[in-house]
Amino acid sequence: MQLAVEVDHLNLYYGETQALKDISLEMEERKVISLIGPSGCGKSTFLRTLNRMNDLINGVRISGTVRIHGEDIYQREVDVEMLRKRVGMVFQAPNPFPKSIYDNVAYGPRIHGIKNKSQLDEIVEKSLRDAALWDEVKDRLKERATGLSGGQQQRLCIARALAVEPEVVLMDEPTSALDPVSTGKIEELIVELKEKYTIVIVTHNMQQAARISDKTAFFLSGELIEYDETEKLFSNPSRKQTEDYITGRFG
Amino acid sequence: MKLEDALNLSTQLEKRKVNHASVSWRRWKNRLAYLLFLLATLSGVVLLGVLIFDVISTGWKWLSPDFFHNFASRLPDRSGIKAALWGSIWVMAVTAPLTFVLGVATAIYLEEYAKKSWWSRFIQLNISNLAGVPSIVYGILGLTLFVRQLALGESVLAGGLTMTLLILPIVIVASREAIASVPASLKYASRAMGATRWQTIQKVVLPYAFPGILTGNILAISRAVGETAPLIMIGAVTYIAFTPSSVMDAFTVLPIQIYSWISMPQEVFHELAAAGIIVLLAFLLTMNGIAVYLRNRFQRKLR
C-alpha cells in the first residue's frame, strides 16, 4: 500500500501558543481518514498544514516534516501553487464563486493554464459527474452557482476541487452547514471518491466518522491522542481520553 | 394566608397601574422620535427643492443652444458656457483615469499585500486624514509642484493632476472598503486551488469589488467637478475664448465660470450664473445616475 501522507514530529505555533504538538502519522492512499476531537483541538489547523493554507495566516511557524506522496512539502524550493493543485480542499460552508456553475468548475483548470474550450467542457462534465451533480445541473451550466441549494453548492465545491485532479482532498467539516439529506448525499459521495482519491475529513459528527472513514485520528489540545482503524477506535479505544470523548463524557 | 394573597394581589394591581402610565409615555416618546427623524430628513429635501426651484426659475430662459455654443462675453446675450463645459470635461479626462489607476492600485496594495503592521496602519491613518484636508491646500500644493516645479504652467494637465491629488484619498478609502467586503472564504477557495495571489485578485477580488470601486470613483469625480478653490489657486482663468485642444492649454471650468458671473454687478449675469448652475447640476446628476446604474447592473450579476 502506497502512503499518501506522512507526517513526522510536526509542531505548529501561532505566535507564542503551540497549536500542534509533535504529531506523527501516516495515511494510506485511497482511504478516508477522519479527524475528530473537540473544538479548538487543532484538527482543522492540522488539516491546513497538509496543503500549506496556514501560510496565509500571519505568525504561523512550523517544525517537523510533512510528505505528500514522498515529497517534503515544507522544503524551500516547493512550488506552493503546485502543491495546492495536488492537495485540494473543500471548506466548512459552501463557498462557490459568484459566477456560473461552469465557470466555478473551470476556475481551477483555467488558472493552471487550460484554455481549450472542448478540453474545459470535458473536465467540467467529468468533475460534475464525479461529484454526483451532473444530472442535476447539466441543463443550466450557465446559471449562477449561488442559486443552487446548499447541498448542491457543496457538491459543486467538491467538483471544483476535483477539476484540477488532486491526489489528496481535504475536507473541513464539509457537511456542518447542511441538512441531513444533503449530508447523506455528500457522505455517499465521499465513499465513492475514495476509489480515486485520498480523503482527509475533519468532522464534529462521530457517527459520520464511523460511517465513512477507514481510519480515524483523535485530537485533543493539539496532541494526537489516538490514530487507528475506525472500527477499532470506536469499539475498543486504547486510550482513556478517546473513550471519554466518544462516549460523550466531554467535548 | 388569604389575607396575604389579597395583599399581594393589590400590590400587583398597583404596579400594573404605574406600568400603564409609563407605557403610554414610552409610546409617546417612540412617536416623537419618529417625527424628529422625519423632520430632519425633510429639512434636507425641502432645502434642495427650494434651491433647485430657485435656480431653474432664474436660469431656465437662458438655456438655449447658443448658451452652449458661445464663449463668455461682456455682453450677456452673447455669453455662453462652452469654454467652461469643455474645460471641465478636459480636466476630468485627465483626473478620472489617473485616480482610478492610482487609487485602485493603492487600495489593492493596502488590502491584499501590506502586512497588518504599524507601518500600514500609519499609511492608512494618513490617507484617511488627507481625505479631510481643505481643497485650497491641494491648490497650493498643485501650484508649487505642478505649475512651478514641473513647469506645467496653468494648464489642463496641472489642473487635472491637482484634482487627482484632491480626490485620490477618497477613491482609495472607497476602493479599500469595496475590496475589504470580498468574503475571505472566496479568496481561500481560490488560493486552495493553487491560484496565486495575483490570479485571485484578478479573478475573484476585483470582479466582486468592482461595483463598489466604480461607485466610489464616480462619486469622487463628481466632487472634483464641483471644486473651485484649488483650480483658482493654480491659476485657471475666468475669461477664456477657446476650448482646450491639448492638455497643455489654459482652461476654465464650470464652477469658476459660475463664480465669475455671480461676482458681476449686473443682475442679468446672475441669471446666466443660474443657467450655469443648471448645467453643472445636470452634469453631476448624470454622473451619479451612471454610478447608480452601473452598481445595480454589476451587483445583479454577482447574486
Q: pLDDT for B85-112, tens place per residue?
A: 888 989 999 999 999 999 999 999 999 9
Q: Is B190 on the interface with A (CB under 8 A)?
A: yes
Mean pLDDT of all residues belonging to chain B: 87
Q: What is the pLDDT of residue B7?
A: 64
Q: For A110, name the nearest residue in chain B, comparing CA atoms only.
A: B195
AA identity, residue A194: K
Q: What is the pLDDT of residue A27?
A: 96
Strand order of the β-sheet with A32-36 is A87-90, A168-172, A198-202, A32-36, A215-220, A223-229
pTM of the complete model: 0.83
Give the residue from A6, A9, A46 showing the smallest Cα distance to A201: A46
Please judge whether B195 and A144 are an interchain contact, meaning their C-beta atoms are less than 8 angstroms apart: no
Q: Can you give the pLDDT at residue A44?
A: 94
CA B286 to chain centroid = 13
Please report residues of B whose CB lies closer than 8 A to that of A44.
Answer: none
Residue A171 has pLDDT above 60, yes or no: yes
Q: Residue A251 pLDDT more than 60?
A: no
The parts of chain B modelled with pLDDT lower than 70 are 1-3, 6-7, 9-21, 301-303
Q: Do A95 and B115 touch (CB under 8 A)?
A: no
CB contact under 8 A, B194 and A98: no
Q: Are B116 and A58 inside 8 Å of each other by CB?
A: yes
**pLDDT given for residue B25 in this prediction:** 87
pLDDT for the residue B266 = 85
Joined grid coordinates for residue B250 = 489654459
Fold entry, domain B65-302? MetI-like fold (1.10.3720)
B74 vs A: CB within 8 A = no
Residue A87 DSSP SS3? strand
Picking from A58, A89, A98, the nearest residue to B192 by CB comes out as A89
User: B198 to chain A: nearest residue by CA?
Assistant: A111
Quick: pLDDT tens for A188-227: 999 999 999 999 999 999 999 999 999 999 999 999 999 9
Gap from A240 CA to chain B (nearest CA, Å): 36
Residue A68 has pLDDT above 70, yes or no: yes
Evaluate if residue A147 carries a pLDDT over 80.
Answer: yes
Question: Which cell numbers hold the place of B77?
Answer: 446675450
Residue in B189, B199, B301 closest to A95 by CB: B189
Do residues A88 and A82 make contact, with C-beta atoms less than 8 angstroms apart?
no
Distance CA B204, CA A148 (A): 19
Predicted confidence (pLDDT) at residue A146 exceeds the cutoff of 60? yes
Q: Report which of residues B246 and A162 the model is more confident about.
A: A162
> Across the A/B interface, how many CB contacts are shorter than 8 Å?
67
Nearest CA in chain A to B113: A56
Find the CB nearest A58 among B115, B194, B199. Answer: B115
Radius of gyration of chain B (CA): 28
Q: Does A113 touch chain B (CB under 8 A)?
A: no
B193 with A162: CB under 8 angstroms?
no
Domains of chain A, earliest start first: 3-246 (3.40.50.300)
Q: Are residues A91 and B204, on separate chains, in Cβ contact within 8 Å?
A: no
Domain ranges of chain B: 2-62, 65-302
**A24 phi and psi angles, rounded to 5 deg:** -135, 125
Q: Give the integer Cα–Cα distance in Å for B24 and A198.
A: 67
